[in-house]
């Protein structure tokens, strides 16, 4: 099911955390992975780590807040790798605001990456996929796009937009052989979140809301991506998959 040999995958926001783990998992499954981030320096160790494990990752600089940069990156990927079979739209911003304190810059900055950048990356990938009549697009959403979470007004709005965008693109692009789905994770332990999640008061409050009683892992997310990116998920499109340990079932 998870054999992706011969396929070309693009992962945005691949320099750290979930994006890095997903890129490595796709490479381990046999895909050639174009890993993107704003800084080429942040991607250097990723390419070497994949190579040491027998996989192939190439790095491409792209700023998801800049549509021109997105188009240039996909032009390069199409030219150098010849095709795109899989897109994992992972790049995103996440920070908390009290709703009364949100500024226009807060709103515009997050929406530029989480929603606008995601759309134009998906559009660029779909144009390449449509040439071959096959594609798998996986968006990274959040449980915060399914239920309200205090101090997440902008983030939740952006991820709710991701969910509806996923459904519309699934409808439009199904005739082109392209599936479009999203994953909506709960709190995932990464090097960037560990410090906060290791605080007993914060951890206790969050875990009380997760019926399975644990935080998510990067491997949990990677496993869901591998399924949705695989030929086995050919009948799955327009779906928002909660990867939340039961949070949104309540």
Q: Coil, helix or strand for 188?
A: strand
**pLDDT greater than 80 at residue 141:** yes
Nearest Cα neighbor of 90 from 13, 142, 17, 185 is 13
Assess contact for 27 and 57: CB atoms under 8 A.
yes
* Predicted confidence (pLDDT) per residue in 187-210, tens digit: 999 998 998 999 999 999 999 999
CA pair distance 240, 140, nearest whole angstrom: 10
Task: Name 248's Cβ contacts closer than 8 Å, sequence gap at least 6.
Answer: 143, 146, 147, 184, 242
Q: What is the pLDDT of residue 40?
A: 82
CA pair distance 242, 244, nearest whole angstrom: 5
Interval 49-56 mean pLDDT: 93
Question: Exactly one of 134, 155, 187, 227 is catalytic; which is it?
Answer: 155
Q: What is the pLDDT of residue 247?
A: 97
Is 155 marked active-site? yes
Q: What is the pLDDT of residue 24?
A: 97
Environment class of residue 250 by beta-carbon count within 10 Å: exposed (0-12), middle (13-18) or buried (19+)? Answer: exposed
Residues across the chain:
250
CA pair distance 170, 122, nearest whole angstrom: 11
Q: What is the pLDDT of residue 219?
A: 98
pTM over 0.85: yes
Cβ neighbours around 214 below 10 Å, total: 12
**pLDDT greater than 90 at residue 8:** yes
Q: What is the pLDDT of residue 165?
A: 98
Nearest Cα neighbor of 9 from 114, 94, 121, 166 is 121
* Predicted confidence (pLDDT) per residue in 27-46, tens digit: 999 999 999 999 888 788 89
Q: What is the pLDDT of residue 62?
A: 95
Environment class of residue 61 by beta-carbon count within 10 Å: exposed (0-12), middle (13-18) or buried (19+)? Answer: middle
**pLDDT greater than 90 at residue 2:** no
Nearest Cα neighbor of 182 from 243, 117, 107 is 243
**pLDDT greater than 70 at residue 1:** no
Interval 3-15 mean pLDDT: 96
Nearest Cα neighbor of 122 from 139, 101, 146, 100 is 139
Task: Please report, for residues 1, 12, 148, 249, the alpha-carbon distance to residue 38 in angstroms, rounded to integers and kept in the order given.
Answer: 32, 9, 30, 36
Higher pLDDT, 220 or 45: 220
Q: pLDDT exceeding 70 applies to what percent of the chain?
A: 100
Assess contact for 202 and 195: CB atoms under 8 A.
no
Could you tell me which CATH number the domain at 8-189+217-239 has? Answer: 3.40.50.720
Q: What is the pLDDT of residue 72?
A: 97
Q: What is the pLDDT of residue 3?
A: 87
> What letter does residue 152 receive in the DSSP assignment?
B
User: Mean pLDDT in the chain?
Assistant: 96
Q: What is the pLDDT of residue 149?
A: 93
Interval 55-77 mean pLDDT: 97
Interval 156-160 mean pLDDT: 98
CA pair distance 122, 55, nearest whole angstrom: 24
Higher pLDDT, 134 or 38: 134
């Amino acid at each position: 099911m998870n054999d992706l040999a011969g396929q070309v995958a693009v992962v945005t926001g691949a320099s750290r955390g979930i994006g890095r783990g997903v890129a490595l998992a796709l490479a381990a499954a046999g895909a050639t992975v174009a890993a993107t981030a704003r800084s080429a320096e942040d991607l250097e160790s990723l390419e070497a780590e994949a190579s040491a494990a027998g996989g192939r990752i190439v790095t491409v600089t792209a700023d998801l807040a800049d549509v021109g940069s997105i188009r240039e990156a996909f032009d390069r990927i199409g030219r150098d790798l010849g095709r795109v079979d899989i897109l994992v739209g992972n790049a995103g911003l996440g920070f908390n605001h009290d709703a009364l304190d949100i500024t226009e810059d807060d709103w515009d900055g997050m929406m530029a990456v989480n929603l606008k950048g995601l759309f134009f990356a998906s559009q660029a990938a779909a144009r390449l996929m449509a040439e071959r009549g096959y594609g798998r697009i996986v968006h990274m959403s959040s449980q915060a796009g399914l239920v309200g979470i205090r101090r997440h007004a902008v983030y939740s709005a952006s991820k709710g937009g991701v969910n509806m965008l996923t459904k519309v693109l699934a409808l439009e692009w199904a005739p082109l052989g392209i599936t479009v789905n999203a994953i909506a994770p709960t709190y995932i332990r990464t090097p960037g979140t560990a410090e906060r999640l290791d605080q007993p008061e914060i951890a206790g409050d969050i875990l009380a809301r997760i019926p399975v009683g644990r935080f998510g892992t990067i491997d949990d997310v990677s496993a869901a991506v591998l399924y949705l990116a695989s030929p086995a998920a050919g009948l799955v499109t327009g779906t928002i998959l909660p990867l939340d340990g039961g949070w949104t079932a309540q």
